[in-house]
Copies of this chain bind each other. A is one copy, B any other.
């Protein structure tokens, strides 16, 4: 074990402790309680752990990167809070969402405050570090909004291409992971090339992660996962799988798939079964796995090109393989 090299679990623990220490404010309580409620619900703290992990590759001192890690985590949770209003989601992490527990206005305003608080952590950076990190954080924040808007647009858009879809998930999910890694690397003193390699790693691993999500919705081992598969099929979500099924299907299958997806009267289990049968016939699982592997390989290539010692990069390889092996 290298001196002062942290594992992902250690970094997640550090972040959870740091979040508990933050004083977000108390009054007015309807503004601040939902912020604490949202952050108390936990989550895997992946983005902030990646900020610290990336910093740790270039520096044994990860203190510098903690405000940046908190900024990314609080920003991410803000997006969940507002997305849950927009998607009308009743639950998040087994708790009622803020707009259900309180109301829409409370969720809008406490979300706004949460975003401002996220930015606020960057205050603790030195002038030079702030000047470097601020544009990365800011550009990424706007991209995440663009991703969410495309995601909502796609619900009613007729033809969503694979390219459109990959661009959307890149913006909605990957750029934040990528920026977390890049910002962390900069806090650790990485040079520009290394920081950009980490960004690319994050982008590709984020895409792999999201496609894995699409795949697991249909093909997860229900014994492990413990919930019924096919939620995306039931809701008719345009996932990587569905988009490619339409792409590969002949006229007849395409018509059948279209009818199935829009059919609100069919038994849900039956719908999932029939759509999955089409996916199987069209080898959508294999096609998706190939794409995931492609993104994964690109991600690994970025790590290999990093100028850091092999031992220090191992945390990223561990992270990448966790993504590939996850079953839920």
Partner-B contacts on A (CB < 8 A): 25, 27-28, 30-31, 82, 85-86, 104-105, 108-109, 111-113, 115-117, 119-120, 122-123, 126-128, 130-131, 134-135, 138-139, 141-142, 145-146, 148-150, 152-153
Contacts and interface: CB of A to CB of B under 8 A. Distances in A.
Given A109-B145, A146-B31, A127 B131 contact: yes
25 contacts: A25-B146, A27-B146, A28-B146, A30-B153, A82-B108, A85-B105, A104-B104, A108-B108, A109-B148, A112-B112, A112-B115, A113-B145, A113-B146, A116-B138, A116-B142, A119-B119, A120-B142, A122-B134, A123-B135, A123-B138, A127-B130, A127-B131, A130-B130, A130-B131, A134-B134
Nearest to A145: B113
Contacts of A135: 123
B109 A149 contact: yes
Contacts of A104: 104
B86 A28 contact: no
Of the candidates A27, A109, A128, the one having the most CB atoms from chain B within 10 angstroms of its own CB is A109
The 3 A-B residue pairs with the shortest CB-CB distance, nearest first, are A127-B131, A31-B149, A28-B149
A310 to B, nearest CB: 34
Given A28-B146, A127-B127, A127-B130, A152 B105 contact: yes
A86 B115 contact: no
Contacts of A111: 112
A59 B119 CA distance: 29
A134 B133 CA distance: 13
A142 B117 contact: yes
Contacts of A145: 31, 109, 112-113, 116
Of the candidates A27, A112, A127, the one having the most CB atoms from chain B within 10 angstroms of its own CB is A112
Nearest to A124: B135
A108 B79 CA distance: 11
A106 to B, nearest CB: 8
